[in-house]
Amino acid sequence: MISRVLGRGGHRPRKAVLALVAFAVWNGACPTARSPLEQAAGDSNWMERWQRKSGDGEFHRGMRVARRGTVRPSLVLAAPAQIALQWKGAAGRLRVRCWAAPVFNIGDGCLLSVTWVGDDRTLSAFSRYFDAARNEADREWSRLDFLVEMGGRPDGELVFELTGGPEGDLTADWMAFADLTVVPAGER
């Protein structure tokens, strides 16, 4: 039965499927996982400092994500999810820099919210809606660079939260973060 569907030899459709998958990965339609050996060889310690906080979504470290031909090792969240970075000893402001991009070009988009949680206070730091299905600019890596007010509290956590778009559709609400740095505002 399968040989009748695939035709004589049956190998050409497999090559076509492999070509489509390669095209999708190259053009940023899906993430590509790396082997543990590749992850260890290219490990940049920043990904290990982030921990899952809450949410039912997924959290992946070291995924290679391609957007418009640019591939970056990334920390990837699938909504709804929260990750947190514990911070101790420096009051004032933090500077956050990273590359960010939705992993897929479908769905109703997703909302990224960044907050500072110290003592019993939560301070909003940054928010951005990404919709790669409708906004072509969101199909590329976006450079994020923003300051986080710590509210005079030297100890706390920086929380990244990813939620669904306005229609509540969580289909393909994956966000990739690459080269994420968090430093006191006066440092580079």
Which range has the worst mean pLDDT, 3-17, 41-55, 98-112, 114-128? 3-17
Tell me the per-residue pLDDT of 96-136, one tens digit each, with 9 for 90 and over: 999 999 999 998 999 999 999 987 789 999 999 999 999 99
CATH number of the domain enclosing 178: 2.60.120.260
Peptide linkage before 80 cis (omega within 30 of 0): yes
SS3 content of the chain, % helix, strand, coil (to 5): 20, 45, 35
Of 48, 144, 139, 158, give the one whose Cα is nearest residue 98. Answer: 144
Q: What is the largest CA-CA distance in the chain?
A: 72
Average pLDDT score over residue span 89-95: 82
| Domains in the chain, number | 1
Mean pLDDT of 42-66: 78
Query: Using alpha carbons only, what angle is made at residue 71 by residues 59 and 46, rounded to the nearest 5 degrees?
Result: 50
Backbone angles phi, psi at 26, to 5 degrees: -60, -35
Q: State the number of CA atoms in the 13 A half-sphere of 163 facing the CB.
A: 11
Please tell me the pTM assigned to this model.
Answer: 0.72
Give the sign of the dihedral formed by CA 59, CA 103, CA 44, CA 95: negative
- Name the residue with higher pLDDT: 14 or 107: 107
Cα distance between residue 93 and residue 183, in whole Å: 9
Per-residue pLDDT at 92: 82
* pLDDT range class, residue 43, cuts 50, 70, 90: very low
Q: Which region among 83-92, 103-112, 139-148, 170-179 has the lowest average model confidence (pLDDT)?
A: 83-92
Q: Taking residues 12-24, what's their average pLDDT? A: 37
Helix and strand counts by DSSP (H, E) for the chain: 3, 11
The answer on pLDDT for 5 being more than 50 is no
Residue 132 DSSP symbol = T
List the structure tokens of 138: 């969101």
Q: Where in the sequence is the domain holding 39, given as residue range(s)?
A: 2-184
Confidence of residue 6 (pLDDT cuts 50, 70, 90): very low
